[in-house]
Chains A and B, each alone.
Chain A
Amino acid sequence: MSAAQKYVPGEHPDLKPPLGQTGLLFWLRTNFFSSTFNVVLTLVTLYFLYLILPPMFNWLFVDSAFVADSRVHCRELGTGACWGFIEKRFGQFTYGFYPLEERWRVNLTFLLFVIATLPVLWDNMPGRRSFLWFSLVFPFVAAWLLLGGFGLETVDTDQFGGFMLTMVIGVTGIVFSLPLGILLALGRQSNLHFIRWLCTGFIEFFRGVPLITLLFVASTMLNYFLPPGTSFDLLLRVLIMVTLFSAAYIAEVVRGGLQAIPKGQHEAADAMGLKYWASMRLVVLPQALKISIPGIVNTFIGLFKDSTLVVIIGLLDPLGIGRASLSDSKWQGLSTEVYVFIALFFFACCFSMSRYSIYLENKLNTGHRN
């Protein structure tokens, strides 16, 4: 640029920023090489990545055996991971002990689950309305497909296992704990003392007790409380406990969101004649839930991972299946592969939830300034 150009006051045009202030090189310089310390950090990080990544890649892919008959066979094929083990047990990891010839029902349920979830998560979906009806019906369809009856062979829930069990617990917990949690949060803010005490007591109880304790209560102690002769399904009891437990957490997250809504929003809604439920549904909750998204998803991710705790009361989630299969003498000593594999599954699920929540936050961002 030549010497500063003069403009008449009030007529200064918009100019481009000076050269070297935008673009890839500028970005690299400011983010990785802006100071001596930053340069050192960048180099040290690169060195560590160099140390870690190649061996990891070799173990996972290059030296690994994807098809093998036993551990010994694996070792002949390579020094890396023995994925052949996982490959042989994949069916069990996915379906637990669900009867072989009925596994298509699990697959179909999963497919329908994807179809039912899409319209809920994606509000620009073509024909969303009719799909939403299907989403409402889906839980019943899923229960029928998985449990059987009405023309299908019945499958007991103690045959559920693996990722399928994780999905059943995770999805049921998420679907039911969100509305319940919202109701609890509203109840805790209610002017009606009885409702407020009830909700507060519920939340504090379920938040104050470890989930494992609740699961033990579900698996053993409940039999003492229930009238003799009645028995209801262990998985159902677990589902109820998991739902109540995470509802208590959701309630507190949502309460935080509710408190962040300025009093003026309630007043404006009241002043225009909206009744309590209308003002909550149309004005307060949309804003409160938006603020609460990170916390809600955080709770969901926690719930999803905590579903592994059911292994303690004898349900065979992926960890249970993994432990059982490790005791096979043909495959002993392959715990790393099993846990890496399970970790990958959980990571994929939790990371997707996390990304979706970020997408949702961005979409709902309307430049709030209130």
Chain B
Amino acid sequence: MNELDSAQSTQANMSISDQEMIRITEMHKWYGQFHVLKNINLDVKAGERIVICGPSGSGKSTLIRCMNRLEEHQKGEIWVDGVELTGDLKNIEQIRREVGMVFQHFNLFPHLTVLENCTLAPIWVRKMPKDEADKIAMGFLERVKIPEQAGKFPGQLSGGQQQRVAIARSLCMNPKIMLFDEPTSALDPEMIAEVLDVMVELALDGMTMLCVTHEMGFAKKVANRVIFMDGGEIIEQNEPDEFFNNPQSPRTQEFLSQILAH
């Protein structure tokens, strides 16, 4: 298992502090009558890299979308970086400034250039001067290895490049937490690697990450915890080694056998 060897060596660089970034207690969510999230309890410390997996419709996307209030929860508490998520717009805006999100379909703004996509929020939310925002954005575009595309429009880039821009765009807000909602699911196989590489680097830099993905190689390499969800519940969570080699619940075993079968 070459992957796991390298995983152990990289994990040494990533430290988890005691500082609590996210605390979710007894959280429930309904879509109308449909109970999508059931009694979710989750603590995330600064520096943690958490991978959330599970069959489709299990509520994993909904869960991370609750963490920046793209979805509303109806019961229980969600605290992000010491602020409780309620209907209070001030709290929501404060949390969204600190939480970056990367979507399955990139959701870049097609009418703005790559650079403008990256500087929009720093300029309008953080009130940063344009020159400074440009400089920071170019720095992050270099980190995701596409500074030469800064003047292009998203429609002119490949899927993998677009997703890397989306990651850079989030990073420009200097977030404390990054949420990834199936970042590689809409990509052609040859482009998945370039996006995962960027995410691995981000993890090595100590970013707190929650990632909904089916990329088990990524989970083994950088995650310190893997969460398995099914039917709106967290069924099992464990360190990646334990999780993959010694799954406890039958549903986890079945899921793993299905996705690892080929």
Contacts and interface: CB of A to CB of B under 8 A. Distances in A.
Interface of A: 262, 264-265, 267-275, 278, 282-283, 286-287, 290, 364, 366-370
Nearest to B101: A271
Contact of B124 (A271, A282, A287): A282
A287 B170 contact: no
A352 B97 CA distance: 45
Given A290-B111, A370-B110, A264 B105 contact: yes
Contact of A268 (B97, B99, B109, B153): B109
B93 A264 contact: no
Majority secondary structure, A binding face: helix
Nearest to B70: A267
Contacts of A271: 68, 70, 96, 99-101
Contacts of B156: 366-367
B103 interface: yes
Contacts of A269: 109
A273 B111 contact: no
Given A273-B173, A278-B124, A286-B111, 15 more contacts: A264-B107, A268-B101, A270-B70, A271-B68, A271-B100, A272-B96, A274-B120, A278-B125, A283-B109, A283-B120, A287-B109, A366-B155, A369-B154, A369-B155, A370-B108
A212 B110 CA distance: 42
B111 A366 contact: yes
B107 A267 contact: yes
A287 B109 CA distance: 9
Nearest to B156: A367
Contacts of A366: 110-111, 153, 155-156
Interface in B132-152: none
Given A274-B121, A274-B124, A367 B96 contact: no
Contact of B107 (A265, A273, A286): A265
A287 B121 CA distance: 17
Interface residues of B, number: 27
Contacts of A265: 107, 109
B111 A287 contact: yes
Indicate the member of A274, A283, A286, A370 with the most B CB atoms within 10 Å.
Answer: A370
B169 interface: yes
A229 B79 CA distance: 63
A272 B100 CA distance: 7
A286 B120 CA distance: 14
Contacts of A364: 111
Indicate the member of B70, B100, B173 with the most A CB atoms within 10 Å.
Answer: B70
Contacts of B154: 369-370
Nearest to B122: A272
Indicate the member of B68, B111, B121, B169 with the most A CB atoms within 10 Å.
Answer: B111
19 contacts: A262-B105, A267-B70, A268-B101, A271-B96, A271-B100, A272-B125, A272-B169, A272-B173, A274-B124, A274-B125, A278-B124, A286-B111, A287-B109, A366-B111, A366-B153, A366-B156, A369-B154, A369-B155, A370-B154
Interface in B165-193: 169-170, 173
Give 5 closest A-B pairs by Cβ, nearest first.
A367-B155, A268-B107, A264-B107, A272-B121, A366-B153
Contacts of B173: 272-273
A366 B113 CA distance: 9
B155 A273 contact: no
B153 A272 contact: no
A362 to B, nearest CB: 14
Contacts of B169: 272
Contacts of B97: 273
B261 to A, nearest CB: 32
Indicate the member of A268, A274, A283, A286 with the most B CB atoms within 10 Å.
Answer: A268
B240 to A, nearest CB: 27
B120 A272 contact: yes
Nearest to B98: A273
B80 to A, nearest CB: 13
B125 A273 contact: yes
A158 B155 CA distance: 54
Contacts of A275: 93
B107 A270 contact: no
B40 to A, nearest CB: 20
A270 B96 CA distance: 8
Contacts of A287: 109-111
A345 B108 CA distance: 44
